[in-house]
Amino acid sequence: MKKFITLLLSIICFLNPAFAADENSQEQKMKWWNDAKFGMFVHWGPYALYGGEYHGYPQNRGGAEWIMNRCKIPVREYRAMASTFNPIHFNADSMVLLAKNAGARYIVFTTKHHDGFAMFKSDASRFNIVDYTPFKRDIVDEVAQACKRHGIKFGIYYSQSQDWNNPGGNAARKLMREGWANPDSVEIDNYTAQHDGAWDAIQHSRDFNDYFYSVALPQMKELLDRYGDDLGAIFFDTPQRITDKQAGDMMKLVSEYPQIIVNDRLKRPNFPGDYKTPEGRVPKAEDIEGIYWETCMNIGNSWGYKKKETKWKSSTEIIRNLVTIAARGGNYLLNIGPDGLGDVPEQAVECLNETGKWLRVNGEAIYGTLRSGLAPAWGEVVRKDNDRNSSLYLCVFDWPENGKLRLDGNFKVKEAVMLADGEKLKFNSDKNGVTVSLPSVMPHKTVTVIRLDLKNKLPKQTLISNSEKVFRILDTE
């Protein structure tokens, strides 16, 4: 099947040189992103003030950034809370350096989440960090400038369809039981069923078309006018009832900046974007074969800040996820959720710092790499193409008791090197595989990396953009 696809692409390129040019152009557009492999997601807004609790009741389900919807907080009440948002501990340079020291090569920052609160100065809606709060500073701009200072690519998240505060925005219908045990739950659920998910009359006091062309589209234009020339990526989310016409008008704005990479959540299936976005999981290798993809995932259990977070991932889990994702040719977008003052939880900081330590030693096995198509029982294999040859990075999770690491396949190996200290290892190879002799003790308990330098260059990989592969995308973990 692979040979057939390659042959078909070759024939198409021969008959239509413009197609080949387009494919090359797409490859160049995606190169920085495809090489980066690791990014930091930031979910932050006034929902952090609640921390996953409403009037003493813990939110029953989903990420804490959904608290307004799941707990059915009235619009005026939420706005009143948002008006007190004053994150005086926030420092853009500290946030960006946290990402950089963790080894992340880009940041995707939530400019507006589903609650409709803009973390930037906006003329399209007063419900923004500058006009509505005592903080009076444009957080998006400060992050964008800090990214530029520290050499980190800047990307934005923008909720193009859902908006629970600006009238007319869509609202995904969630049952009251997902928030708290409100005694009026039956009445509230009946109301949301009759009003497309809305629970407050203010929300449906105008229609979505009015909202889209007076808030969503103008806000995207504001962001593009300010940052479009330097912007790396846009992460849209939860299309809801956005139409093809509306999505097309959004893409007309974005297309004025052809370098911007766009995900697959603007409007499915007619706007597939540049890459797929499985959420909260590492997909099977066969599900993402031949396409660009990125897994977004939390360090904890919630995208937005949660006071009583208990399900923190360990640095070992994060690093092994990163390795597995790289081995399958994807990117890892790892999320943090600062609190109401702008502080990142200590557990997240510690995890990111440990990940950064590992990457400073083993980063060459991650950055600029390709999927290998190999799946050994002891770990993962990542591929990198050099000028004249290819290298395979054997990322060992489980150290073999007999000290022999076996990789099946007909590889012409030049040398085997322990990545951490440059020690050359003995190996034996035959037409069925290669066996590397290892030290008796695993040097790094998380993942130890051995580089196999091959004598030859492996066949070129071609990724197909705008694939029709579909992932089940969750709105929250």
pLDDT tens digits for 296-333?
Answer: 999 999 999 999 999 999 999 999 999 999 999 999 99
319, two tokens? 């690093």
Rounded mean pLDDT of 23-38?
92
Which residues have a Cβ under 8 Å from the Cβ of 113 and sit 6 or more positions away?
Answer: 43, 45, 47, 65, 157, 159, 304
> In Å, what is the CA distance from 243 to each residue of 157, 251, 329, 469, 475?
20, 12, 32, 21, 19
| pLDDT of 138 strictly over 90 | yes
The three-point CA angle 475-221-197 to 5° equals: 30
Is omega for the bond preceding 258 within 30 degrees of 0, making it cis?
no
CB neighbour burial string for 344-372, b if at least 16 within 10 angstroms, e if fewer = bbeebbebbebbbbbbeebbbbbebbbbb
Q: What is the pLDDT of residue 471?
A: 67
How many CA atoms does the CB half-sphere of 276 hold within 13 Å?
Answer: 25
Rounded mean pLDDT of 202-230?
98
> In Å, what is the CA distance from 192 to each residue of 74, 77, 172, 174, 424?
13, 18, 9, 8, 65
pLDDT tens digits for 31-51?
Answer: 999 999 999 999 999 999 999
Average model confidence (pLDDT) across the chain: 93
Q: What is the pTM of this model?
A: 0.93
